[in-house]
Amino acid sequence: MPATPPFSPTNLPTDNRPRNAGSSMNDDTSRLDGVAKVTGRAKYSKDRYLPNAVYVGYVRCPWGSAELASCNKEAAQAVPGVLEVEVTGKEGKYHGARVGHVVAESPTALKRALRALACEWRRRPAQTRINDAMGEPAAPTEETGKMLAQCDHVLDAVYSTEVQTHSSLETHGACVDHRGDEAVVYSSTQGTFAARDGLDEAIGLPRSKYKVICEYVGGGFGSKLAGADKEGVLAARIAAKYKRPAYLFENRAEEHLDTGNRPASRTLVKIGFDKDGTIKGGLIHTWGGVGVSRGGGGVAIPTGSYRLGEIQRKHDDVSFNAGGPRAFRAPGKPQAAFAEELMLDEIATAAGVDPVALRIKLNTSDDRKKMLQQGADLIGWRNRVKTGSQTGVMRRGFGVGCTSWPKIPSPSEAEVVINRDGSVLVRTGSQDIGTGQRTAMGIVAADALGVPLSIVEVSIGDSTNPPAPGSGGSVTLPNTAPSMAAAGADAKAKLLDLVARLNECKAEELTIHEGQILRHNEPLITWAQACAKIGPDAIVGKGAWAGRGQGAGHSDGVQFVDLRVDTETGIVCVDRVVAIQSCGKVVCRKTAESQIIGGVIQGLSFALFENRLLDRQTGAMVNPNLEWYKIAGPVEMPLIEPILWKDPSANVRSLGEPPTVPTSGAIACAIYNAIGKPIRDLPITPEKILTALA
Amino acid sequence: MTTLPPPPPAGRHPSGVSRRSFLQTLGVSAATSALAGAAEARLAEPGAEPAKDLIGPGPSRVVLKVNGKEMPVTIEPATTLLEALRQGLGLTGSKEVCDRGSCGGCSVIIDGRLHVSCMMLAHDAVGADVQTVEGLANGDGAGGGGLHPIQAAFVKHDALQCGYCTPGLVMACKSVLDANPKPTLAQIKKGLAGNICRCGTYTNVFNACLEASGQAPIKDA
Task: Please state the domain extents for chain B.
Answer: 19-45+59-135, 142-212
> How far apart are alpha carbons A490 and A579 in whole angstroms?
38
What is the separation of C-alpha A384 from the centre of its chain, rounded to a whole number of angstroms?
Answer: 32
Nearest to A466 by CA among A480, A447, A452: A480
Q: What is the ipTM of this complex?
A: 0.95
- Out of A19, A169, A602, whose CB is closest to B221? A19
Question: Which chain A residue's Cα is nearest to B160?
Answer: A34
> Over the range A519-528, which residues count as b (16 or more CB within 10 Å of their CB) and which as e?
beeeebbebe
What residues have CB less than 8 Å from B126, skipping those under 6 apart?
B13, B14, B15, B16, B62, B63, B64
Given this model, what pLDDT does residue A22 score? 78
DSSP string for B48-83:
PPPPTT---SS-EEEEEEETTEEEEEEE-TT-BHHH
- Partner residue facing B162 (CB), from A18, A218, A639: A218
Using alpha carbons, select from B15, B16, B22, B18 the residue that is nearest to residue B40. Answer: B22
Which residues of chain B are within 8 Å of residue A219 when distances are taken between CB atoms?
A: 161-162, 164, 198-199
B6: number of Cβ within 10 Å: 11
A40–B154 CB contact, under 8 Å:
no
Using the predicted structure, report yes or no on whether residue B16 has a pLDDT greater than 50. Answer: no
Is the model's pLDDT at B23 over the cut of 60? no
CATH 3.40.50.720 holds for A412-545:
no
Q: Which of B76, B97, B200 sits opposite A252 (nearest CB)?
A: B97
- Domain ranges in chain A with CATH number 3.30.365.10: 9-16+331-407+553-693, 412-545
pLDDT band at B57 (very low <50, low <70, confident <90, very high): confident
Query: According to the model, what pLDDT value does residue A644 have?
Result: 94
**CB contact (8 A) between residue A17 and residue B220:** yes
Per the CB < 8 Å rule, is B218 touching A578?
no
Task: Please name the fold of domain A9-16+331-407+553-693.
Answer: Aldehyde Oxidoreductase; domain 4 (3.30.365)
A588 — contact with chain B (CB < 8 Å)?
no
Determine whether the interchain pair B35/A116 forms a contact, defined as Cβ–Cβ distance below 8 Å. Answer: yes
Among B132, B160, B197, beta carbon nearest to A38: B160
- Is the Cβ pair B219, A625 closer than 8 Å? no
Q: Is A566 helix (H, G, I), strand (E, B) or coil?
A: strand
Ranges A81-95, B24-38, B39-53: which has the least confidence: B24-38
Cα(A568)–Cα(A446) distance, integer angstroms: 56
CA end-to-end distance (rounded Å), chain A: 19
Sign of CA dihedral B35, B41, B43, B46: positive
Residue B15 has pLDDT above 90, yes or no: no
CB contact (8 A) between residue A38 and residue B133 = yes
Calpha distance A302→A286 (Å, rounded): 11
For residues B109-130, average pLDDT: 97
Burial class (CB in 10 A: 0-12, 13-18, 19+), A16: middle
Query: 3-class DSSP state for residue A435?
Result: coil
In chain A, which residues have their Cβ closer than 8 Å to the Cβ of B204? Answer: 594, 597
Cβ pair B122, B76 in contact under 8 A: no
Q: Inter-chain contact B93–A40, Cβ cutoff 8 Å?
A: yes
A464 conformational bin, left if phi > 0, alpha if psi -120 to 50, beta if neither: alpha
Residue of A nearest to B91 (CA): A40
Task: Tell me the pLDDT tens digit for each residue of B142-201.
Answer: 555 689 999 999 999 999 999 999 999 999 999 999 999 999 999 999 999 999 999 999
Question: What is the three-class DSSP state of A316?
Answer: strand
Q: Are the Cβ atoms of A591 and B166 closer than 8 angstroms?
A: no
Inter-chain CB pairs, A–B, below 8 Å? 217
Mean pLDDT by 10 residues, chain A (694 residues): 41 52 85 96 97 98 97 97 96 97 96 97 95 93 97 97 98 96 97 95 96 96 95 98 98 98 98 96 97 94 96 97 97 98 98 98 96 96 96 97 92 97 96 96 96 95 96 93 96 97 94 93 95 95 86 87 97 96 94 97 98 96 97 96 85 94 98 98 98 96
Alpha helices in A352-426 (DSSP H): 355-362, 366-379
Interval A33-52: pLDDT, tens:
999 999 999 999 999 999 99
CATH topology of domain B142-212: DNA polymerase; domain 1 (1.10.150)
- A15 has a chain B CB within 8 A of its CB: yes
- Whether residue A38 and residue B105 make contact (CB cut-off 8 A), yes or no, is no
Distances (CA, A) of A344 to A69, A134, A351: 53, 25, 10
Grouping H, G, I as helix, E, B as strand and the rest as coil, residue A598 is: helix
Q: How far is the C-alpha of B38 from the C-alpha of A193, rounded, in Å? A: 50
B contacts of A580 (beta carbons < 8 Å): none
- Chain centre distance of CA B167: 11
CB atoms inside a 10 Å sphere around CB A687: 9
Q: How far is B179 from chain A (nearest CA, A)?
A: 18
Contact (CB, 8 A) for A658 and A403: yes
Residue A407 and residue A554 in contact, taking contact as beta carbons nearer than 8 Å: yes
Query: Cβ contact (<8 Å) for B134 and A39?
Result: yes
> How far does chain B reach from its first CA to its final CA, in angstroms?
30
Burial of residue A569 (number of CB atoms within 10 Å: 0-12, 13-18, 19+):
exposed
CB contact under 8 A, A39 and B147: yes
- HSE-CB at A169 with a 13 A cutoff on CA atoms is 32
Rounded-to-10 torsion of CA A21, A24, A25, A30: -70
CB-CB neighbors (< 8 A) of B153 in chain A: none
Contacts of B197 in chain A (CB under 8 A): 169
This prediction has a pTM of: 0.92
pLDDT for residue B35 is more than 50: no
CB B37 within 8 A of CB B30: yes
Reduced to 3 states (helix: H, G, I; strand: E, B; else coil), residue A133 is helix
Name the nearest CA neighbour of A481 among A456, A445, A529, A452.
A445
Residue of A nearest to B106 (CA): A40
Q: In CATH, what class is B19-45+59-135?
A: alpha beta
- Residues of A (515-574) whose Cβ lies below 8 Å from B: none
Coil, strand or helix: which one is A196?
A: helix
C-alpha distances (whole Å) from A119 to each of A60, A62, A67, A162, A311 are: 9, 10, 10, 31, 51
Residue of A nearest to B138 (CA): A39
